[in-house]
Amino acid sequence: MKERISILSLLSLAVKSAREAGALEEALVAYQGGNYAQAEALLLVAGHAGHPNAQELLGFMYAIGPDLYPGVWRSLTAARNWFDRAARAGRPSAQYMQAAFVRRGPLEVRADIMACFNPTTAPAAFGPLSAVREPGEAASPRED
């Protein structure tokens, strides 16, 4: 049986890690507010400056594209580039995605991504990414 990528879990880890980095705060405010084009621009600055959390999140944004991130173009080439950068910096989710691209190829990775983020079911099925928490972690005061 073919192993499936748990894209949602990896993306959740990338967002949680980025939340912990103060330099990305403005980008994550835009991200959480649904302003993905602004978040992309801010993450690009941080990513080019060498911030691995930004690189990892950019990899997911480009891999998923406008189905989940309106205003962000989909490019598996760009996604792979950002995952490669973040993986070299030691980001585990990026290392997994980098290995998936090498072992399975971009078309199979794309199929897994689309299975996880079907635009007709993703928002209802997964809810906002801000709702993703570690086991036992309390909700923030902003979450209802």
Range 14-17, long-range pairs (CB < 8 A, 24+ positions): 14/53, 14/56, 14/57, 14/59, 14/60, 14/91, 14/93, 14/94, 15/57, 15/129, 15/132, 16/132, 16/134, 17/53, 17/56, 17/91
Residue recorded with tokens 């928002």: 123
Mean pLDDT of 30-40: 92
According to the model, what pLDDT value does residue 13 have? 58
According to the model, what pLDDT value does residue 27 have? 87
- pLDDT at residue 25 greater than cutoff 90: no
- pLDDT at residue 46 greater than cutoff 90: no
State pTM to two decimals: 0.67
Over the stretch 125-143, which tens digit does the pLDDT of each residue have? 444 444 433 444 454 444 4
Mean pLDDT of 56-76: 91
- pLDDT at residue 74 greater than cutoff 80: yes
According to the model, what pLDDT value does residue 5 have? 54
**The token pair that represents 21 in the structure block:** 């980095």
- Whole-number Å distance between alpha carbons of 90 and 53: 10
According to the model, what pLDDT value does residue 50 have? 86
Where do the structural domains in the chain lie, given as residue ranges? Answer: 7-126
- Whole-number Å distance between alpha carbons of 44 and 110: 22
Which range, 18-22, 63-67, 112-116, is most confident? 63-67
- pLDDT at residue 28 greater than cutoff 90: no
- pLDDT at residue 67 greater than cutoff 50: yes
- pLDDT at residue 43 greater than cutoff 50: yes
According to the model, what pLDDT value does residue 72 have? 94
